């Protein structure tokens, strides 16, 4: 797989190598070794989510407080979505800017967004199914939403998108900033730097195709009266 960093620092587009034949298709959409090479740290999965959306459904912009926030590794296994990453880190050189990637069941691309970034996606087809790995479990008291139409994003849709009541009533970026809820550039960088420092003291992840030593099995003889 290949990785390309987006115009928002801390976000990447990942393109897998597809292996297809008469039976169908196989590909790796996540590898620990590839992820570590891309980001400089590991991705400890704490939760995996699945979202199914009708065409025109817009979810986001969502974010979580730092620390620990919630990094996401996102892919679309059915249909197509426009996946958007928004820089909401106060003090960032790209604060308020966004980038997007088309995720679909043809290219099989993924997007990774690190801690402190905002996330949204628009479903382009019915039953668009998005799977994402999360670095932290859902914590409603630390989760927030920003009005998705506040960033000048060119959503490819005719008419109005379908939003949840919560997303439709979300405050603007400036309102969330005034409330003191946005992460800062320094907070996000410090958190990621800590992850990288921790990774330097951990064993290297096993690369794809590398031989794996079988576990040592020790046999213990059972003795009468033992438990």
Query: Which domains, from first to last, does the chain contain?
Result: 2-197 (2.60.120.10)
Higher pLDDT, 109 or 200: 109
pLDDT over threshold 60, residue 217: no
Distance between CA atoms of 93 and 8, rounded to whole angstroms? 9
Catalytic residue among 62, 73, 112, 119: 62
pLDDT over threshold 80, residue 62: yes
End-to-end CA distance of the chain: 50
Residues 6 or more apart whose CB falls under 8 angstroms from that of 172 comprise 146, 147, 150
Distance between CA atoms of 123 and 35, rounded to whole angstroms? 26
At 143-175, the pLDDT tens digits run 999 999 999 999 999 999 999 999 999 999 999
Tell me the β-bridge partners of 123.
81
Q: Are 102 and 69 in contact (CB under 8 A)?
A: no
pLDDT over threshold 50, residue 226: no
The answer to whether residue 62 is catalytic is: yes
Report percent pLDDT > 70 for the chain: 89
Distance between CA atoms of 76 and 131, rounded to whole angstroms? 6
At 114-148, the pLDDT tens digits run 999 999 999 999 999 999 999 999 999 999 999 99
pLDDT over threshold 50, residue 113: yes
Catalytic residue among 41, 119, 132, 144: 132
Poorest-pLDDT segment among 43-57, 66-80, 166-180, 189-203: 189-203
């Amino acid at each position: 797989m290949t990785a390309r960093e987006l115009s928002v620092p801390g976000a990447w587009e990942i393109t897998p190598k597809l292996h297809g034949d008469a039976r169908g298709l196989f590909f790796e959409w996540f590898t620990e070794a590839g992820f570590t090479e891309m980001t400089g740290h590991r991705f400890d999965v704490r939760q995996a989510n699945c979202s199914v959306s009708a065409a025109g459904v817009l979810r986001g912009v969502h974010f979580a407080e730092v620390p620990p926030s919630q990094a996401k590794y996102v892919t679309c296994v059915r249909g197509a979505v426009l996946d958007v990453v928004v820089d909401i880190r106060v003090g960032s050189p790209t604060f308020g800017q966004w980038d997007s990637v088309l995720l679909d069941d043809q290219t099989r691309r993924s997007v990774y967004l690190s801690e402190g970034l905002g996330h949204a996606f628009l479903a382009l087809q019915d039953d668009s199914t998005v799977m994402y790995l999360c670095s932290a479990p859902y914590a409603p008291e630390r989760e927030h939403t920003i009005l998705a139409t506040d960033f000048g994003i060119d959503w490819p849709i005719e008419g109005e998108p379908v939003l949840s009541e919560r997303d439709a009533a979300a405050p603007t970026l400036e309102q969330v900033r005034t409330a003191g809820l946005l992460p800062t550039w320094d907070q996000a960088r410090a958190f990621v730097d800590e992850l990288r420092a921790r990774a330097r003291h951990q064993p290297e992840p096993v690369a794809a195709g590398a031989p794996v030593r079988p576990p040592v099995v020790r046999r213990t003889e059972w003795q009468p009266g033992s438990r």
